Structure 1
Amino acid sequence: MKDVTYDPEDESTYECFSCGTVVNASAPGTCPECGADMRNRRTPIE
């Protein structure tokens, strides 16, 4: 694998764990629709 430089200001795609809302943001924290936690879609879930 190739190392990627991490920049927290870069926008990524985030998905809500609860309602499934998808947003492009740098770090949304909580869902703008329902307030639940968001996950970065680049990070795999095991």
Structure 2
Amino acid sequence: MKRLEVNRFVWPGAEEIVTLSVEQLHWLLDGIDLSVIQKHRQRHYLRIS
């Protein structure tokens, strides 16, 4: 059971239906704000040495 620190879970600000993976659900239950998580830029390399 998780205890809420501020009496609510941090939820993304969008009003639409949000689809979560199991990992993202665990992050929400751990209190991690999903709206501040950013993906790394995809890198393209020209050659491998």
* Structure of higher CA gyration radius: 2
Q: What TM-score results when the alignment is normalised by the length of structure 1?
A: 0.19
Q: What TM-score results when the alignment is normalised by the length of structure 2?
A: 0.19
Which has the larger share of helix? 2
